[in-house]
Amino acid sequence: MMSSAIGAIKEAYTTLTGETAKAADLAKDTVDLGNPPRKGITTDHGVYVSDTDNWCVVHYVNPFYIRMYALRLKAADGNGTGPSLVEDQIAREKIMRFDHERIPERVVHARGAGAHGYFKVYDNRASKYTYAPVLTDPSRITPTFVRFSTVQSSRGGADTVRDVRGFATKFYTEEGNWDIVGNNIPVFFIQDAIKFPDVVHAVKPEPHNEVPQGQSAHNNFWDFAALTPETAHMVTWIMSDRAIPRSFRMMQGFGVNTFTLVNSQGKRFFVKFHWIPELGVHSLLWDEALKINGQDPDFHRKDLEEAITTGAYPKWLFGIQIIPEEKENDFEFDILDATKLWPENLVPVEIIGEMVLNRTVSEFFSEVEQVAFCTSNVVPGIGFSDDPLLQGRNFSYFDTQITRLGVNWQEIPINRPVCPVLNHHRDGQKRHKITKGVNYWPNRFEQTGPVSAKEGGYVEYPQKVAGVKQRVRGAKFQEHFKQAQMFFNSVSDIERAHLVSAYSFELSHCDDPIVYESYTKLLQSVDFDLAKQVAINVGGAVPEKAIHPNPGHKATRISQFEFAPKEPTIKSRRIAILVADGFNLDEVMAMRTLLKAGSATTWIIGPRRGPVYPAGEEVGKGIGYSADHHWEGQRSTLFDALIIPGGAKHAQALADSGRCVHWVREAFGHCKTIGALGEGVVFLREAVKLPSVRLAADLNSDDVTSSYGVVTAGQYDLGSAAADILSIKEGQKGFVSNFAHELSQHRCFRREIEGLTAKVSY
């Protein structure tokens, strides 16, 4: 109780100041160029530089000047150019430093974005399972750094590709760094780490032409997948909307591998780690994702930054799934097989804490590029299992950091622990630390020796091991389709329809019939109807009957619709308000105020950036209202919802603009919430042209009509706005409340299910 109160005080302090033990540690290495003001630029060896723009050259000048300024290298008349001098150490240093700015990008997960935050547990309930204070001491605020990433593309790839997203968290605990190097999908492609180079080579751009970038839609990936049935389950997740998240902030995170926890009585438990986003799990639509790849390739990176800088701090609940050691063999799947999840109806997730990201990085390279995670970074009370994928990962991460960052990678500021680090490891490139004393153990001074378990030293769990050394996989590792079927059966109809489209898109990008025919054959082992539909779409092998009939088994908390936030929210949602000269300013002001109260952001999109003139103001002369972007500068894809206010002239100008009509149709096609008022409703009716969508008919009434996620009213005067206390639930009277309720649902999929979106061109 007492420790929870201490935790709450520490959290309040962190929230207020952004301070954590890690922030203080990084401050030692942070140079703020403006604070305090500096005298000026120096070389790397600290000498002030007087000229940063001119390389020292031998300057040919008129003989008069040579006589006058004998032996000066440069003269003032500016005639003629001579050879540059290698002796210019300042120019040489500048160029040489630049030549070596790049380091190898990560072999996978090269593109990413990161942020700082903190982690806390609610109480000590996890002490049943572990003695790790980070998981049991509620008085602690543990600093964290998270890096989100895509897997396939290089560093310059786009954010919204179809791919698994990395979700790697470094906990700077008082007992050392603990890393959960997870993904936003709970399972993996392969069971054994030895196959990792194969799956990565297959999915990466093909070796002969380095195509495609940021895509799995190519022959080599689907060839490998068809020949490696253990990938079937993961591929169903990758083909689902989980692989095109709306935001990093709206993704689940999973440790994927099975780890272990040990409690103070020495009892061991198998564990899986979970992150559950406060805002729910939401995705883009495929058409939207494809367009954003070109329109704003940094969409997710910017979204993370925008949320933190506007105070909508991303938050995840932290949960654990626990299986006591003696129940290891109680399941029909092997709990150490990373291609299988532990269904939550069999092993519930216990929520024990949360993480908040509240600070953006100051310099991308030093923090996001140089952060280096390692599955083998665990702290006392947390251990590994015999999961064969995890065992390989534990070797691979440390090893790959040596290529990328050098052997002393753990000394780099973003990676170094906040607790003391002291050992006899020495030397190597870029060693920072200067250690006085001997560098071996045992030594006559008894310096830096081992620490007993009682005093906090890490000890391995005394696991009994017996067997025959051979290259085999366990019997339960041989079954590959039951959980792929379970996933297919457990998602909603709309998610299933998107699965069919995704498989069809990907396989239709494979031009080798051996590949798409083989994969459509493999799909018969997942679901007959799925296989048939995809095969018809892509010209594959249309099946006669199922190979492994799908018995229809399901699990809970597979569909992303099962992760709705506790209270409906519009926090951090981006709303575009489309205007032309002559729009109704009172409506816009009232709506913006209310939507801001719900922590959404609103953006005025006008015919030009800068002043747009509301009704009653003369264009170019009157008092304008500032637009954030012009119609061509942004697209509906970059927003969660769209509003068209009233105003006769403005509505006519929108109707006369093909781009504005497209804005509305595209938002409708992507099932986004659309709001319109007054003459804006007339424009909307013309733009969408679907009689089945009911719109407000009486322009003199403030009655709200809500139909297929389209919210309209004839009027929204000050009286209606005053009565519209933002309340996000169904059946409210006010326009903004209704709009916010629809928006909190993320999208209106009924439009797609009932075929309305297929009737609109966008």
The Cβ of residue 703 has, within 10 Å, a number of other Cβ atoms equal to: 14
Q: Shortest gap between Cβ of 182 and ligand HEM (angstroms)? A: 5
Pairing mode, strands 350-359 and 112-121: antiparallel
Active site residue 183: yes
Q: Is 389 in the site for ligand HEM (CB under 6 A)?
A: yes
| Site membership for ligand HEM, residue 188 (CB under 6 A) | yes
Q: Rounded to the nearest whole angstrom, what is the least distance from the CB of residue 374 to ligand HEM in the complex?
A: 9
Distance of CA 341 to the CA centre of its chain: 21
Nearer to ligand HEM, 191 or 283 (CB): 191
Catalytic option among 59, 177, 183, 498: 183
Distance, CA of 119 to CA of 664 (rounded, Å): 41
Residues 733-762 that bind ligand HEM (CB under 6 A): none
- Asked if residue 196 lies in contact with residue 392, where contact means CB atoms within 8 angstroms, the answer is yes
Query: For residues 255 and 607, which CB has a smaller minimum distance to ligand HEM in the complex?
Result: 255
Cα–Cα distances (Å) from 387 to 65, 272, 323, 335, in that order, read: 79, 12, 14, 8
- d(CA 231, CA 228) in angstroms, rounded, equals 6
Query: In DSSP terms, which residues pair with 690 in a beta bridge?
Result: none
**CA dist list (Å): 114 to 46, 119, 370, 393, 412:** 31, 15, 11, 22, 16
Name the one residue in this structure whose structure tokens are 């061509």.
632
Nearest approach in angstroms of CB 701 to ligand HEM is 54
Nearest to 749 by CA among 609, 559, 595: 559
Interface segment toward ligand HEM; rule CB under 6 A; list 14-22, 369-377, 433-441, 526-534: 369-377
Does 182 bind ligand HEM (CB under 6 A)? Our answer is yes
Strand 574-578 to 382-384 pairing: unpaired
Shortest spacing between CB 253 and ligand HEM, in angstroms: 9
Number of Cβ atoms within 10 Å of the Cβ of 411 = 16
Sequence-separated (6 or more) residues with CB below 8 Å from residue 750: 708, 709, 756
Is 397 assigned to a binding site?
A: yes
Shortest Cβ 532–ligand HEM spacing (Å): 32
- Cβ nearer to ligand HEM, comparing 109 with 635: 109
| Minimum gap (Å) between residue 338 Cβ and ligand HEM | 5
Out of 372, 580, 600, 676, the only residue in the binding site for ligand HEM (CB under 6 A) is: 372
DSSP symbols for 667-686: HHHTT-EEEEETHHHHHHHH
Binds ligand HEM (CB under 6 A): choice among 132, 193, 627, 736: 193
Task: Identify the bridge partners of residue 406 per DSSP, sorted by sequence position.
Answer: none
Please, which residues bridge with residue 625 across strands? 612
Rounded distance between C-alpha atoms, residue 75 and residue 449, angstroms: 66
Residue 239 or 336: the one with the smaller Cβ distance to ligand HEM is 336
Residues 261-300, one symbol each (x = binds ligand HEM by CB under 6 A, - = not), give ----------------------------------------
Interface with ligand HEM (CB under 6 A), residue from 338, 541, 575, 642: 338
Q: Does 132 bind ligand HEM (CB under 6 A)?
A: no
Does 340 participate in binding ligand HEM (rule CB under 6 A)? Answer: no
Out of 212, 392, 565, 568, the residue judged to bind ligand HEM by CB under 6 A: 392
Burial of 440 (0-12, 13-18, 19+ CB in 10 A): exposed
Would you count residue 191 as binding ligand HEM (CB under 6 A)?
no
Least distance (Å) between residue 372 CB and ligand HEM:
5
**Residue number with the shortest CB distance to ligand HEM?**
166
**130, 136, 144, 149: which one binds ligand HEM (CB under 6 A):** 149
Two tokens, residue 24:
């203080």
Residue 166 binds ligand HEM (CB under 6 A): yes
Q: How far is the CB of 28 from ligand HEM (least distance, A)?
A: 23
Cβ of 571: how many Cβ atoms within 10 Å? Answer: 20
The verdict on 388 binding ligand HEM (CB under 6 A) reads no
- For residue 643, the cross-strand partners are 577, 675
- Told to check if 409 binds ligand HEM by CB under 6 A, we report no
Shorter beta-carbon distance to ligand HEM: residue 11 or 105 = 105
Q: Of 183, 293, 339, 560, which lies in the binding site for ligand HEM, with binding defined by CB under 6 A?
A: 183
Secondary structure of residue 166 in the 3-state scheme: strand
Taking the least distance from each CB to ligand HEM, the nearer of 104 and 719 is 104
Tokens at 59, concatenated:
């300057």
Residue 350, φ and ψ in degrees, nearest 5:
-95, 120
Distances (CA, A) of 209 to 205, 213, 221, 295, 649: 8, 11, 15, 25, 53
Give the residue with the Cβ less far from ligand HEM, 403 or 701.
Answer: 403
Nearer to ligand HEM, 168 or 530 (CB): 168
Written in H, E and C, the secondary structure of 289-328 is HHHHHHHCCCHHHHHHHHHHHCCCCCEEEEEEEEEEHHHC
Q: Which of 213, 400 has the CB closer to ligand HEM?
A: 400
The nearest distance, CB 256 to ligand HEM, in angstroms, is 4
Question: Exposed/middle/buried for 469, CB within 10 Å: 0-12, 13-18, 19+?
Answer: exposed
Select the residue interacting with ligand HEM from 113, 115, 181, 653 (CB under 6 A): 181
* Closest separation in Å from C-beta 252 to ligand HEM: 13
CB of 60 to ligand HEM, least distance (A): 51
Contacting residue, 168, 522, 576, 671, with ligand HEM by CB under 6 A: 168
When asked if residue 127 is in the footprint of ligand HEM (CB under 6 A), the reply is no
* CB-count exposure of residue 304 (10 Å: 0-12, 13-18, 19+): buried
Q: Give residues 716-735 in contact with ligand HEM (rule: CB under 6 A).
A: none
Judged by beta carbon, residue 61 or residue 181, the one nearer ligand HEM is 181
Among 404, 424, 425, 574, binds ligand HEM (CB under 6 A): 404
115 contributes a contact to ligand HEM by CB under 6 A = no
**Does residue number 213 form part of the binding site for ligand HEM (CB under 6 A)?**
no
Minimum CB distance to ligand HEM, residue 209 (Å): 24
Residues 83-112 that bind ligand HEM (CB under 6 A): 106-109, 112
Vertex 62: Cα angle to 57 and 66 (nearest 5): 70
Residues 235 to 264 in contact with ligand HEM, rule: CB under 6 A: 256-257
Sites for ligand HEM among residues 484-513 (CB under 6 A): none
Query: Which residue number, 255 or 646, has a Cβ lying nearer to ligand HEM?
Result: 255
The yes or no reply on residue 393 touching ligand HEM (CB under 6 A) is yes
The catalytic residue among 109, 218, 741, 746 is 109
Q: Which burial class, exposed, middle or buried, applies to 448 when counting CB atoms under 10 A from its CB (0-12, 13-18, 19+)?
A: middle
Paired with 145 in beta bridges are: 116, 170
Number of residues that bind ligand HEM (CB under 6 A): 29
What is the per-residue DSSP string for 616-663? TS-TTTS--EEESEETTT--GGGSSEEEE---HHHHHHHHT-HHHHHH
Q: Is the peptide bond before 607 cis (omega within 30 degrees of 0)?
A: no
Residues marked as catalytic = 109, 183
Q: Name the binding residues for heme.
A: 397
Residues that bind ligand HEM (CB under 6 A): 106-109, 112, 147, 149, 166, 168, 181-183, 188, 193, 196, 256-257, 338, 371-373, 389, 392-393, 396-397, 400-401, 404
